[in-house]
């Protein structure tokens, strides 16, 4: 019995003060987009982002992911794009709203053995263009400089952006 009490006391000490709150997470899905929010009880602040994972029909694992962060005070949105490794880095990756859109270029920041990350900051007008799009695309070159295009659905993006805006 004494040993159990000692283990419980040590566990409580290792866990930290009882007043420390862990961040609370929540998600909401709007068609093809998911809003993920984290609320920090200590700072009373909430941070949200919108995520979409792209899949290829013949693969079980995601081929890419787009993450849109809440706008900054300068009304710029941060867009992060993850694509497979083994890509041609100098060209970056383009995100286009539809076939007519020339797209916005994201520069690659880093690569690891399984994926590469590109990012860009865009103005609200680019976000509006994406919201109006039906099916857009991510395009980049693989390591042999062959073109690689991934379809992106913008279905649900307007509702996801509206929801994220209300979560501040």
Residue 6 belongs to some domain of the structure? no
Question: Phi first, then psi: what are they for 9, rounded to 5°?
Answer: -65, -45
**Residue numbers of the domain that contains 44:** 21-166
Residue 144 belongs to some domain of the structure? yes
20-24, 27-31, 55-59, 129-133: least confidently modelled range: 20-24
CATH of the domain at 116: 2.60.40.1880
Residue 150 belongs to some domain of the structure? yes
Residue 132 belongs to some domain of the structure? yes
pLDDT, one tens digit per residue, over 37-46 is: 998 888 878 8
Q: pTM of the predicted model, to two decimals?
A: 0.83
Show the tokens assigned to 41: 């009880």
Cβ(46)–Cβ(93) below 8 Å: no
Residue 128 belongs to some domain of the structure? yes
Residue 10 belongs to some domain of the structure? no
Torsion of CA 62, 168, 28, 18, to 10 degrees: 90
Residue 32 belongs to some domain of the structure? yes
Residue 152 belongs to some domain of the structure? yes
Q: Give the pLDDT band (50/70/90) at residue 18.
A: very low
Number of structural domains found in the chain: 1
Cβ(50)–Cβ(27) below 8 Å: no
pLDDT at 9: 29
As a whole number, mean pLDDT of residues 81-99 equals 94
pLDDT at 21: 61
Residue 19 has pLDDT above 50, yes or no: no
Residue 153 has pLDDT above 60, yes or no: yes
Q: Give the pLDDT band (50/70/90) at residue 13.
A: very low
Residue 168 has pLDDT above 80, yes or no: no
């Amino acid at each position: 019995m004494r040993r159990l009490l000692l283990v419980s006391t040590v566990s409580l000490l290792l866990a930290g003060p009882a007043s420390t709150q862990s961040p609370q997470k929540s998600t909401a899905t709007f068609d093809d987009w998911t809003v993920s929010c984290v609320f920090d009880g200590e700072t009373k602040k909430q941070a949200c982002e919108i995520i979409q994972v792209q899949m290829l029909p013949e693969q079980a694992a995601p081929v890419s992911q787009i993450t849109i962060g809440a706008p900054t005070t300068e009304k710029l949105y941060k867009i992060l794009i993850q694509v497979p490794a083994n890509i041609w880095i100098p060209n970056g990756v383009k995100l286009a709203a539809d076939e007519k859109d020339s797209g916005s270029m994201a520069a690659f920041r880093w690569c690891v053995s399984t994926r590469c990350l590109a990012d860009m900051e865009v103005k609200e007008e680019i976000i509006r263009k994406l919201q109006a799009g039906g099916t857009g695309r991510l395009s980049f070159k693989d390591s042999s400089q062959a073109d690689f295009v991934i379809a992106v659905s913008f279905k649900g993006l307007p509702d996801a952006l509206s929801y994220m805006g209300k979560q501040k």
